[in-house]
A and B are shown apart, each in its own frame.
Chain A
């Protein structure tokens, strides 16, 4: 079980606003996070991943405290080791597709399976600049999954995929997540995009 209760000041056009979220995510669940632009969805994911620090709050994962501002505890992103799919993909321009996955894991069998899931086998030697938007997005998903994370945080992960590719990929991902007991939080602007994938949802309104 992942338990989150945080408060974070956000910079906004109309001044400072406070993002306040208290939520729980059962282990192995898939949750859709949605809400208007600027409501703090990405910041929420980054706080869980340890990339942004909130002013106040506590995050516990099973029996481990990841963050507790009262006791000034905050595990580094390296120790939390969440899989993170960035909205802008954050692919490494110097690495080929294959190198991206090898940077994350040494398990060649797992890499081969990820290649098959993402249908990127024929692009193994390509660098990101030679991939289409959809291919880049799939690589970002595969890289995050390469570390077999217990918690996967995905920020608009399917926005550049055509419906056919998206449905096929989601089916494969769902099977892997079930197999590994991965807890998944997915931010999406388009609620229809995740139909049939998520059983839980969290709405973040403008603070």
Chain B
């Protein structure tokens, strides 16, 4: 069995999770504070990948980053960066596609904390950043871990969006889900079974670890 698709999938999931942690924490914090029309629109956009067919998202990304058009052409001409049919493109698509899995649990956890926790910290002279790092973040640790694991697991299973923007280039964009589709189409059921078993095992371990970790930390395992 060629392990390259599995390695590529794990690499993609790791990079996506790290990027989304860096973007997701401040964004979820900002979204959790009050409501405005801009926040509402942004939240709707972030949530869209949950309900939008992955192929639709993949199609728009393909159009947007094609080297023949707009943003894609600009990136290609000025930064020599080609996102379509490249690993970087997969990362971008995964970040967009998995964003609701990172933002949702963190934002919800922050909103469930009593407002008086942050207020108490402010009255002690602490800034918003100090309060976030020392008070809020440690108290939503379980939700951050859940969000990171869900993001990782979701990225492992991406198919439509990565196929649209990345295609099926061995060693570059051929992730496990595409390898499974490919080997099934070629009636190589042994390879299909091997890839499926590995993905099933990794996903099961990830999900069970969320349940075990959150057993005593949250009211519901996926909170």
Q: Is the CB of B116 within 8 A of A94?
A: no
Residues from 127 to 147 in B contacting A, C-beta threshold 8 Å? 127, 134-135, 138-139
Q: Which B residue's beta carbon lies closest to that of A104?
A: B124
Complex A-B: 10 CB contacts under 8 Å: A49-B119, A49-B123, A51-B123, A78-B126, A83-B123, A84-B120, A91-B120, A103-B134, A144-B123, A147-B125
Q: Mark A132-153, 1 if CB is under 8 A from B, else 0.
A: 0000000000011011000000
Q: Mark B64-80, 1 if CB is under 8 A from A, else 0.
A: 00000000000000000
Smallest CB separation, A165 vs chain B (Å): 22
- Neighbouring B residues of A82 by C-beta, 8 Å: 123
A112 within 8 A of partner (CB): no
Smallest CB separation, A98 vs chain B (Å): 14
Smallest CB separation, B122 vs chain A (Å): 4
Q: Is the CB of B134 within 8 A of A84?
A: no
How many angstroms between the C-alpha atoms of A76 and B122 in the bound complex? 8
How many angstroms between the C-alpha atoms of A146 and B117 in the bound complex? 17
Q: A92-B139, A93-B139, A94-B135 given as contacts; is B127 within 8 A of A78 (CB)?
A: yes
Q: Is the CB of B124 within 8 A of A90?
A: no
Q: 6 closest Cβ contacts across the A-B interface?
A: A90-B116, A94-B138, A77-B122, A90-B120, A84-B123, A104-B124
Q: Is the CB of B139 within 8 A of A51?
A: no
Q: Is the CB of A51 within 8 A of B125?
A: no
A81 within 8 A of partner (CB): yes
Residues from 139 to 195 in A contacting B, C-beta threshold 8 Å? 143-144, 146-147
Residues from 75 to 89 in A contacting B, C-beta threshold 8 Å? 76-78, 80-84, 86, 88
Partner of A88 from the list B114, B123, B134, B135 (CB cut-off 8 Å) is: B114
How many angstroms between the C-alpha atoms of A83 and B127 in the bound complex? 16
- Neighbouring B residues of A81 by C-beta, 8 Å: 123-125
How many angstroms between the C-alpha atoms of A104 and B123 in the bound complex? 10
Beyond A84-B123, A86-B120, 15 additional contacts (C-beta under 8 Å) are: A49-B119, A50-B122, A51-B119, A77-B119, A77-B122, A78-B127, A83-B123, A84-B119, A86-B119, A92-B117, A93-B139, A103-B121, A143-B120, A146-B124, A147-B124
How many angstroms between the C-alpha atoms of A163 and B117 in the bound complex? 28
- Neighbouring B residues of A103 by C-beta, 8 Å: 121, 124, 126, 134
Residues from 196 to 210 in B contacting A, C-beta threshold 8 Å? none
Q: Is the CB of B117 within 8 A of A90?
A: yes
Q: Which B residue's beta carbon lies closest to that of A91?
A: B120
Q: Which A residue's beta carbon lies closest to that of B116?
A: A90
How many angstroms between the C-alpha atoms of A86 and B117 in the bound complex? 10
How many angstroms between the C-alpha atoms of A51 and B116 in the bound complex? 9
How many angstroms between the C-alpha atoms of A80 and B125 in the bound complex? 8
Q: Which B residue's beta carbon lies closest to that of A93?
A: B139
- Neighbouring B residues of A146 by C-beta, 8 Å: 124
